[in-house]
Structures are given as structure tokens and as C-alpha cells.
């Protein structure tokens, strides 16, 4: 059966076997097609979709709509034509089939943390996975099956119940769906690899509305692509992750120095960090406190006890004259959620970042000089250490193409409604324009706001053409286009 026949027969069966359930739609729904033109969806089609799924269809006139349409970053105040809150993978199949049959633009939402607002749309249909957060651990096999709408906290907590862990990011309300399809940087990545390196296989809904498995044995091309290619290839409804035995307690360390010491601290940091073992996850940050006082800090996590950490951290423990310096034992799961409130939902956020495969001699000076130009507490810059196990994976083993990165440097600003948003955007962009020439030109697809085709092509390096082949095979119409998009080849 051809794809179009399959889609229309699936919808016809649904339509014939159900009755409108009274969504209160006074008229047909106006929506937006993938290419931006307007489409009209009949009230009956929408009602049939609601009848056929376990979850809910939320429409603009519904009481739940305002809450349902919001994503983490208030900068993206968009109004989808409908939101399908899926309860299981069958609902995701129905939602994709509905979107394809009615030619509606799809956005896919897990944790809603897309920095570029790709998980919502004006006029399109949001496939919201946030009800799908179930996690099941097989303690003997040391694996976790987790649904595609889960948050990092769901993964960390489920694994920790069995004394296990795997790499996840630094803020526990971030979604597994976006993080694990694009990368997955975190405290454990030097020890256990990126989150996507621990992806053993997925179940996903493809652009033609089928639920398929992708792993090393089945649909291996899709499995390769979904580890780094982001949301381009379909909607993951379930991941299976490798877990590792880990003591629930790790060591947290933080050394803060006066800003006057920054040149020495920064020089020290990059030399010191290069010698650190895989157990150490560190970063260097320039920040200001609420009073506007600037400081430079080295901090991070060591997988081991404070005594072991003290030995491994070596010269850091006695370096310079810190304002505060501490090494403490910390519960890993608690630490993973410690920054949650700093990155609260509903504020305005912007970030520019990139990868650095080497530390240019000028880098500390440039980083510091521009930071000092802005004397308020709003902006910060950090260099997070990469490498270790994540760096030892061959560049073409997965779609993720930045194994050689030594650091990811990020400039972040955030503000609320009453503040000068455009001013902050300009600040971050100007700052990045002086940092970028010192980078290796690569960036993390999960944090970029630059989705121009040429930029994405360059960023995937030698993996790009294979990604285009796989996209062409699995999503020839570019149905999944709200992402760091890899367009399929044009049809002959």
C-alpha cells in the first residue's frame, strides 16, 4: 500500500467508526500547512481524532489552551491551531496520521525546552508528549525504557532507585525527547558518554504514521540518525538507555575567585582541566551577583568520594585565594535538580554557544574583556569541559559530529517582561560575534537558533550527506521540519 493510501484509509476507518464528541467547535478549524499556506480542517475530523485517542485534543477555545500552549521560554508566545496531548504511542500515530492527512504543520513537544521555540507553532498542530513519562528499569540488564515525553528527572530518579545512572543534562525539567535525539551533555558524559551514546534503541512514529523500532538490528539507519539528528526523523515514543552502577553520592566542588584574579584563574583552569580524569566534570564561569559584583568560578562534579576528589583535583585545591572554596559530598539526583529554579519556566531566555576543539591563546582575554563591558547580573558566560568517553566515540558512529570538542562555551541571558529584551539579545549576539572566530565553527543543534540549511550542513560535517539520505528515505516531504532541519533531497 502506498503511503498516501495508507494514511487516508487509516483516517477513513476512524471517521466511519466514531461520532463527534462535542469539542464545542462552532466551525471548521483554520490551520497552517507545512509550507505556510492556510488549511481548513472540518469539525468532524477534529472530533473523530478526539474520539480515537486516549489523550486530549486541546483547541483555542478550550479552558486548558492557555496553559497547554506555553513552552519553557516565554520568548515564544505562539498559538497552535490545536494541541494533541498524547497518552500513548497509538495516540502519537493517530496525531501524525491526522496531521499528514490534513496537511497541517507539526511541532513536537517533550519537555518544551527548545531554545529556538521549535516545539510550538503559530497555526500548526502540536504533538505534546508530556503525559508520556513512564520509566521502567531492568536492574539486571541495567537498562531503562522510558517514554518519549519524559523529563530528565524521571530518568535520573528511576535509575537511582536501583543504584544506577546514565548521562543526562544539568536541569531536571529538560525533556529526554529533545536532549537525547540531539546530544545529551551532562555531568557523567566524560565517564559514560553522551546521553545518545547510551541509547540502545527506540520506538518511534515515522512521517508516514507508522510505529517502528530502530536499533542496531532493525532500521539501523534510522537508529544512527536519531542519535544526533534531532527530531528530523520521527517522534520517539520510547527510548531504551544503558545504565551504569554508580554510588548515589558524588562530590561537588566550587571555587570562586575575585574578578581581578580572572586572567590567572582562566589560564590555570584550561591547563588544569586538560589533565583531569573522566570522573571530573568541570566548568569555568564568569558571572555577577545580584549586587553586580563580578567573579570567576571553577566548579563541577567528581564521581567518587570527597577524599578521592581532593586527590584528583590536585592543584585546584590549593590554587590562588578563593573567596569561597569547597568540596562536599552530594546526592547525585538532588544535584541534578539543584539548578531547576534558576532556569524557571516562563522567563525570557537567549543563549549563544559553540564548540571549541582547542583553547586559543587569546580566548581567556576575549571572554573576559566582553564580559566586563556589561555591569549587571544578567549575563554570564561559561566554558563546560567535554571529552573523555564522549570524545572517544568515532565521529561517524552516530549522527552527532562534535566528538573533538574540548569545550562548549555558552553565553546566556534571561530577562522578564518588564526588561529590555532586544538589548539582551543584542548583547549576547555581539558577545558571540567576538567569541565565534575562536571556536571550531561547530555548535550544538539543541541550542542553536540558526537553522539555515548551509549552517546545519556544515555543522554535521561528514555525517550530513548520510543524514540527508536517511531523511529522504523516511521523511521525503519534510513533515518533521520544526527542528535544526535537514531537508530531504528534492523529488525528481
Ligand X SMILES: Cc1cc2nc3c(=O)[nH]c(=O)nc-3n(C[C@H](O)[C@H](O)[C@H](O)COP(=O)(O)OP(=O)(O)OC[C@H]3O[C@@H](n4cnc5c(N)ncnc54)[C@H](O)[C@@H]3O)c2cc1C
Q: Write out the residues near ligand X by the rule CB under 6 A.
A: 71-72, 108-115, 118-119, 129, 148, 169-171, 174-175, 177-179, 181-186, 230-231, 235-236, 343, 446-447, 482-483
Closest distance of CB 40 from ligand X, Å: 25
Which residue lies nearer to ligand X by CB, 48 or 208? 208
Please state the closest distance from residue 280 (CB atom) to ligand X, in A. Answer: 16
How many residues does the structure list for the chain?
492
At residue 88, φ and ψ (nearest 5 deg) are -155, 180
410 within 8 A of 352, measured Cβ to Cβ = yes
What minimum distance in Å lies between the beta carbon of 462 and ligand X?
A: 22
- φ and ψ at 40, to 5 degrees? -115, 130
Nearer to ligand X by Cβ, of 230 and 388: the residue is 230
Select 172 or 439, whichever has its Cβ closest to ligand X.
172
- Smaller CB distance to ligand X: residue 29 or 71? 71
**DSSP annotation of 21:** -
- Minimum gap (Å) between residue 136 Cβ and ligand X: 17
Nearest distance, CB of residue 267 and ligand X, angstroms:
26
Residue 8 cell numbers, joined? 487516508
Q: Which is nearer to ligand X, 439 or 483 (CB)?
A: 483
Tell me phi and psi for residue 282, to 5 degrees. Answer: -130, 165
**H-type helices in 275-326, by residue range?**
306-313
Q: Are 354 and 435 in contact (CB under 8 A)?
A: yes
In angstroms, rounded to a whole number, what is the distance separating the alpha carbons of residues 328 and 305?
A: 9
- In the complex, the smallest distance separating the C-beta of residue 480 from ligand X, rounded to whole angstroms, is 7
Comparing CB distances to ligand X, the nearer of 23 and 92 is 92
d(CA 354, CA 432): 9
72 or 474: whose CB is closer to ligand X?
72
Q: CA 346 to CA 144: how far, in whole Å?
A: 31
> DSSP readout, 124-184?
SEEEE-TT---EEEETTTTEEEEETT-BHHHHHHHHHTTTEE----S-TTSBHHHHHHH--
Q: Where are the alpha helices (DSSP H) in 337-474?
A: 363-372, 421-435, 453-459, 464-474
Smallest gap, in angstroms, from Cβ of residue 182 to ligand X?
A: 6
Nearer of residues 257 and 349 to ligand X, judged by Cβ: 349
Minimum Å gap between C-beta 137 and ligand X is: 19
Could you give the CA distance from residue 325 to residue 486 in angstroms, rounded to a whole number? 45
Q: Which is nearer to ligand X, 172 or 251 (CB)?
A: 172
Return the number of the residue (52 or 119) whose C-beta is nearest ligand X.
119
Closest CA to 461 of 386, 384, 405: 405
What's the distance, CA 383 to chain centroid? 18
Q: Is 412:424 a contact under the CB 8 Å cutoff? A: no
Amino acid at each position: 500500500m502506498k503511503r498516501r493510501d495508507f494514511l487516508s484509509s487509516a483516517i477513513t476507518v476512524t471517521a466511519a467508526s466514531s461520532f463527534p464528541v462535542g469539542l464545542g467547535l462552532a466551525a471548521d478549524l483554520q490551520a497552517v500547512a507545512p509550507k505556510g499556506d492556510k488549511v481548513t480542517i472540518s469539525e468532524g475530523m477534529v472530533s473523530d481524532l478526539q474520539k480515537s485517542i486516549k489523550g486530549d485534543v486541546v483547541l483555542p477555545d478550550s479552558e486548558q489552551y492557555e496553559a497547554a500552549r506555553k513552552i519553557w521560554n516565554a520568548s515564544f508566545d505562539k498559538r497552535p491551531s490545536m494541541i494533541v496531548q498524547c497518552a500513548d504511542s497509538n495516540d502519537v500515530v493517530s496525531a501524525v496520521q491526522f496531521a499528514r492527512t490534513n496537511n497541517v504543520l507539526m511541532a513536537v513537544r517533550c519537555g518544551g525546552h527548545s531554545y529556538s521555540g521549535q516545539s510550538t507553532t503559530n497555526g500548526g498542530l502540536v504533538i505534546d508528549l508530556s503525559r508520556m513519562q513512564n520509566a521502567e528499569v531492568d536492574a539486571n540488564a541495567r537498562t531503562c525504557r522510558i517514554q518519549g515525553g519524559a523529563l530528565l528527572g524521571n530518568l535520573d530518579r528511576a535509575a537511582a532507585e536501583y543504584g544506577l545512572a546514565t548521562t543526562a543534562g544539568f536541569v531536571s525539567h529538560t525533556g529526554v525527547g529533545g536532549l537525547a535525539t540531539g546530544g545529551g551533555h551532562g555531568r557523567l558524559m566524560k565517564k559514560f558518554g553522551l546521553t545518545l551514546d547510551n541509547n540502545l534503541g527506540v520506538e518511534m512514529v515515522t512521517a508516514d504514521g507508522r510505529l517502528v523500532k530502530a536499533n542496531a538490528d532493525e532500521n539501523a539507519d534510522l537508529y544512527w540518525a536519531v542519535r544526533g539528528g534531532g527530531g528530523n526523523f520521527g517522534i520517539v515514543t520510547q527510548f531504551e538507555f544503558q545504565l551504569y552502577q554508580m554510588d548515589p553520592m558524588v562530590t561537588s566542588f566550587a571555587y570562586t575567585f575575585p574578578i581581578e584574579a580572572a586572567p590567572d584563574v582562566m589560564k590555570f583552569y584550561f591547563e588544569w582541566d586538560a589533565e583531569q580524569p573522566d570522573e571530573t566534570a568541570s566548568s569555568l564561569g564568569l558571572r555577577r551577583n545580584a549586587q553586580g559584583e563580578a567573579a570567576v568560578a571553577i566548579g563541577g562534579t567528581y564521581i567518587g568520594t570527597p577524599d578521592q576528589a581532593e586527590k584528583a583535583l590536585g592543584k585546584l585545591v590549593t590554587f590562588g585565594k578563593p573567596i569561597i572554596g569547597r568540596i562536599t559530598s552530594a546526592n547525585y539526583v538532588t544535584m541534578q535538580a539543584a539548578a531547576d529554579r534558576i532556569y524557571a519556566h516562563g522567563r525570557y531566555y537567549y543563549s549563544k554557544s559553540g564548540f571549541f576543539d582547542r583553547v586559543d591563546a587569546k580566548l581567556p582575554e576575549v571572554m573576559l574583556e566582553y564580559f566586563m563591558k556589561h555591569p549587571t547580573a544578567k549575563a554570564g558566560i561559561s566554558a563546560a569541559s567535554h571529552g573523555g568517553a564522549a570524545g572517544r566515540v568515532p565521529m561517524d558512529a552516530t549522527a552527532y559530529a562534535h566528538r573533538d570538542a574540548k569545550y562548549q562555551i555558552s553565553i546566556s541571558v534571561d530577562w522578564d517582561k518588564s526588561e529590555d529584551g532586544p538589548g539582551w539579545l543584542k548583547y549576547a549576539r555581539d558577545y558571540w560575534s567576538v567569541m565565534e572566530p575562536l571556536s571550531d565553527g561547530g555548535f550544538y543543534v539543541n541550542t542553536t537558533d540558526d537553522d539555515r540549511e548551509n549552517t546545519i550542513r556544515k555543522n554535521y560535517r561528514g555525517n550530513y550527506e548520510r543524514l540527508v539520505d536517511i531523511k529522504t528515505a523516511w521523511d521525503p516531504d519534510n513533515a518533521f521540519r520544526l527542528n535544526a532541519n535537514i531537508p530531504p533531497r528534492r523529488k525528481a
